[in-house]
Chain A
Amino acid sequence: MKAWQPPTGWRYWSEVNNSVVGLWYTGLVFFFLVFGGLLALLMRIQLAVPGNTFLSANLYSQVFTLHGSVMMFLFAIPIFEAVSILFLPQMMGARELPFPRLSAFGFWAFLIGGIFLCGSIFFNAAPTGGWFMYPPLTSRYEPGIGADMWLLGFSFIEVSAIAAAVELIVGILKCRPPGMRIHLIPLYAWYVLVAAAMILFAFPPLITGSMLLELERAFNWPFFDAARGGDPLLWQHLFWLFGHPEVYIAFLPSVALVAMIVPTFARTPIVGYKWIVLSAIGTAFLSFGLWVHHMFTTGLPGVTLALFSAASQAVAIPTGVQIFCFIATVYVGRLRPSVPMLYVAGGLATFVIGGLTGVMVAVASFNFQAHDTHFVVAHLHSVLIGGTIFPVIAATYYFFPLINGKLLSERLGRTAFWLLFCGFNITFLPMHFTGLRGMARRVYTYPAGIGLEGLNLTSSIGALILAAGFGVLLWDILRPKGKDPDAPRNPWQAGSLEWLQEMPGKPWGVRCIPEIDSRYPLWDQPNFVRDVDEGRFFMPDAEEEKREMLVTSIIDAKPEQCLRIPGPSFITLLSAIFLGGVFIFPTFKMYWSMAVSGVVALGCILYWLWHGSGLIPEKEEKAIGHGVTVPLYISGSSSVGWWAMMITMLADITAFVSILFGYFFYWTLHNDFPPASIAGPGLIWPIAGLLASLAAWALTMLARAWNRQEKPGSFYAGIGMAVLSAVFGIYALLAGPKQAAMNPEEHVYPAMVWLLVIWTALHIAVGIIMQLYCAARRYAGRMTARYDIDISNVTLYWHFVAITVGATVAVIAGFPLLR
């Protein structure tokens, strides 16, 4: 208990425990939901009557841009990460997630980035280009810092989203209780695993797109300027490669909450567990084949539209499957009516309406008519409010006792539901008709006499009812509950592990790590709660008073390691502040401040790693109960650190592939790419850079082997030569375009070449820092032949660097030869 006690006083803010950070995170996400909702109200007031002057055109543009951006980036995605950080460990009978400081870092980054973006509107400086920021509007016709804030601020927030995704994936794969094989994990974990994996492949294209657009805005590199070989459509591809999967990243974890709630109130296991797994994985794949349906009116070839239209229709199948599973579960079980189920039913009904209009807009010919009208506004809000907000509110009522041991009011819950449900339909149903009558989105007003007045006024009245519903909900959450009795333990008689929690809960997550042999242990395993309470399973105590958790194998959840996780620290906050500076200072063109902030951020991160990771334990093994002994330290592909590096680098390589996609995009569609008048980087320097970088990679692998063989001299020599090779690699790669005098402002071709070599050089530079870090660790006695996780993970990083260098050189040196 002492090990998990949160710090008190001002040090409370240094806590990293998931139950505390998850609560901060969830609270902040709800704050942004309210902020985004208030912006929506402003829009509805403006549109209540024709020719209204409540908001100016510019302010209206700021409001709708910020509303969409806040709801998507600061609510829809982070709510699932926040809820997962808060509850996922308990759902899996775990004490924590494997990288608590990473969760805390993600939260602080989210807070800094979110406040930075939302604050902009109070200075009349918010972006105005819509939440999808299409160039050339945002590259040439949007002066001021609004677009820069969007591009850099959201890139920073996306970093925090990817950090959370890494945490959640490793948590689900490696931190399940013994016996919880892959076919027994809670459906919530399946969905979160799928959604977090989608983040790894969906967010990097947007980060790449934002980088290109900011390079154009700040340094005049013409990625989207048609006059210099660029193409604005590339932005749309990159944005929607993120944007469409993003909808499912928001939807799947919300429907996961439904998958936890429905069996409880139907009092029966979910019907069609494997069908739901099918639908989660199937939806994830298909959702990456839909992005062009947002671009049907851009003049793409008919055959291309047909491909994406077909995929857009196909995704309705897995989406529908899971809804049928929920209906079947209710049908098979004995339904107990409740507030959470009311929200579930209302949400699914609303979502189905949005899904059906989705099938309509997936048909290209209908889409041509409905594009950019309020019909699409009605469609997307039905999907997102029905598919995300209603399930989240259902989960709020359902899980609230796990937060502070109290139940929310059933009376207020029902009142809020009917206000929200009626308010939603009164607001958005008329928008289908205003849209079909031709009312355009993102226009601050409309003329009288064209049949839009009554419908718009109805929508605005509905919005006020919707807001009243949120008001009741917020009051129910925030009202003082000191006099309310504590909720009984497991108040809903659920079967899943999170309901093991005593009321009110303890900071350790779970009293001891249970052995699992059912999908619903509280229903199926006899004397389960008693055995957990009496500490009869694994790790009932932490005699060294360190925070410890159990790491298990991916498929069959066999115990592999007792993982010591770091406790409270302000280093996460400091790292987030200074890394935030790297993204915030360039908004104001303060590049020196950015550089200083970057160096300090690097120092913070190195300090964090030095003192908080790869620590050598005082003994080899630890007995965890039931005669099982596990090591305290492992490296290689069984360790959580190796998996975190692997997953992070998958996201990184996806961002790199997005840059390559840009190169191929220009090469495929533009006959003047590469232009005959501009010389490329040639062959000699790129190949020299490749060979030197590959040498650095090979030497890193050798250094790992020499370290394991206890040959310190060879190890240091290997690292030294690897660093020298890598430095030369950077020089040679940059020398190619430099010697050819390629000017990135002249044409998109030199800009692409420079971008590829700079991206690669930065990765090699980070690799050099890692190599030197390993040498320092060995020198300080923090890394040995046996305890070698640092060099093991750095080698993995270098595998990806080798791929990056190889692809960069093949493209910049090889492709000009093909023309």
Chain B
Amino acid sequence: MWLLVLSPSIWAAHFLASYVGAAMWCGTMEDRAKSVDAMRLWIVLFGLVALLLIGIIGRIGRRKYQMEGGEPPFDKDTAEDRHRFLGAATVLLSGLSAMATIYVCLSQLFIRNCL
């Protein structure tokens, strides 16, 4: 069941790290109009790592979800259908987490300074 919340947790970790990093970076700058390209690059690079991890979790979910013998909506009273359901929900949450991580990274392509 913990698998369900892993991908959103990775999004949260990346988001929090980006927020704290940006706050510290900008907080120590004399001139806020200066470029913060290095920080933006870090956010995007960490975003790619986060996406990779989310992809791995999504894959694990997919393996459970595609376990042989079951058909959606996975509502039979069996341990196998429970596995398939949790796998499918993991895949969906990984997709949402990936999208939210991409949103966060995209924002850094457009905003260039701390103003």
Could you list which residues of chain A lie within 8 angstroms of chain B, going by C-beta atoms?
179, 181-184, 269, 273-275, 277-278, 281-282, 285-286, 288-289, 292, 301-311, 313-314, 317-318, 516-519, 554-556, 668-669
Q: Per-residue CB proximity of B64-100 to A under 8 Å, as 1/0?
A: 0000000001111101011001101100110011011
A307 to B108: give the CA distance in the assembly, Å.
Answer: 8
What is the number of residues of chain B that contact chain A, defined by CB distance less than 8 Å? 49
- Give the residues in chain A near B76, CB-CB below 8 Å: 517
> What is the minimal beta-carbon distance from B25 to any residue of chain A, in angstroms?
8
Would you call B111 and A668 a contact (CB within 8 A)? Answer: no
Write the residues of chain B forming the contact surface with A, with a CB cutoff of 8 angstroms.
1, 4-5, 8-9, 11-12, 15, 18-20, 22-24, 26-27, 32, 36, 39-40, 73-77, 79, 81-82, 85-86, 88-89, 92-93, 96-97, 99-100, 103-104, 106-108, 110-115
Q: A183-B81, A274-B85, A554-B1 are in contact. List 18 more A-B contacts (CB 8 A).
A: A181-B77, A181-B79, A183-B86, A269-B75, A274-B88, A281-B8, A285-B12, A286-B100, A292-B19, A303-B26, A303-B40, A306-B111, A307-B19, A307-B104, A310-B103, A313-B103, A518-B75, A556-B79
Chain A min CB distance to B62 (Å):
13
**From A314, which residue of chain B is reached at the shortest CB distance?**
B100
Q: Return the chain A residue nearest B74 by Cβ.
A: A183
Instruction: Give the residues in chain A near B20, CB-CB below 8 Å.
Output: 668
User: In this complex, what residue of B is CB-closest to A183?
Assistant: B85
- Please determine whether A518 and B77 come into contact, CB atoms closer than 8 angstroms: yes
Can you spell out 12 A-B residue pairs with CB atoms less than 8 angstroms apart? A183-B75, A282-B97, A285-B5, A286-B8, A289-B100, A302-B111, A302-B115, A304-B19, A306-B107, A307-B104, A310-B107, A668-B23
Which residue of A181, A301, A308 contacts B32 across the interface (Cβ within 8 Å)? A301
Q: How far is the CB of A814 from chain B (nearest CB, A)?
A: 17
The 7 closest A-B pairs by CB, nearest first: A517-B77, A183-B85, A306-B107, A285-B8, A301-B114, A301-B26, A278-B92
* Complex Cα spacing A307 to B103, Å: 8
Q: Cβ of A281 and Cβ of B93 under 8 Å apart?
A: yes
Rounded to whole angstroms, the CA-CA distance of A334 and B12 in the bound complex is 41
B74 touches A317 (CB 8 A): no
Is the beta-carbon distance between B93 and A307 smaller than 8 angstroms? no
- Whether B96 and A318, one on each chain, are in contact in the complex, defined by CB atoms closer than 8 angstroms, is yes
Q: A184-B77, A274-B88, A281-B5 are in contact. Are A303 and B82 (CB under 8 A)?
A: no
Q: Which residues of B contact A304 (CB under 8 A)?
A: 19, 22-23, 26
Name the one of B4, B18, B22, B26 contacting A281, with C-beta atoms under 8 angstroms. Answer: B4
Report Cα–Cα, A281/B32, bound state, in Å: 37
A275 CB contacts on chain B under 8 angstroms: 92
Whether A289 lies near B27 (C-beta < 8 A) is no
Q: Are A303 and B1 in contact (CB under 8 A)?
A: no
Distance, CA A555 to CA B3, complexed state (A): 13
Shortest C-beta distance, A521 to chain B (Å), equals 10
* A652 to B103 CA separation, bound complex (whole angstroms): 32
Q: Assess A303 versus B114: contact at CB under 8 Å? Given A314-B100, A668-B24.
A: yes
Task: With CB as the reference atom, state the residue of chain A lying closest to B84.
Answer: A183
Q: A274-B74, A278-B92, A289-B12 are in contact. Are A302 and B108 (CB under 8 A)?
A: no
A281→B114 CA distance, assembly (Å): 32
Distance of A516 Cα from B76 Cα, bound (Å)? 10
> Which A residues lie within 8 Å of B73 (CB)?
269, 273-274
* Bound complex: CA A278 to CA B81 (Å): 17
Residues of A within 8 A of B8 (CB): 281-282, 285-286
Chain A residue at smallest Cβ distance from B40: A303
Is the Cβ of A303 less than 8 Å from the Cβ of B12?
Answer: no
Q: In the complex, which residues of chain B have a beta carbon less than 8 angstroms from the beta carbon of A307?
A: 15, 18-19, 22, 104, 107-108
Nearest chain A CB to B63 CB, angstrom units? 16
Contact (Cβ within 8 A) A277 B111: no
Chain A residues near B40 (CB-CB < 8 A): 303
**A301 — which chain B residues lie within 8 A by C-beta?**
22-23, 26, 32, 113-115
Hey, which chain B residues are within 8 Å of A517, CB to CB? 76-77
CB pair B32–A274 under 8 Å, yes or no, is: no
Residues of A close to B113: CB separation below 8 A: 301-303
With A183-B81, A183-B82: A303-B75 Cβ-Cβ less than 8 Å: no
Q: A668–B97 Cα gap in the complex (Å)? A: 28
* Distance between Cα atoms of A181 and B75 in the complex (Å): 10
Q: Which residues of B sit under 8 angstroms from A292, Cβ to Cβ?
A: 19
CA distance A392 to B101 in the complex (A): 34
* Contact A310 B106, beta carbon cutoff 8 Å: yes
Q: What is the distance, in angstroms, from B53's C-beta to the closest C-beta of chain A?
A: 15
Rounded to whole Å, the gap between the CB of A595 and the closest CB of chain B is 39
Are A289 and B74 in contact (CB-based, < 8 A)? no
Q: Cα distance A269–B74 when bound, in Å? A: 13
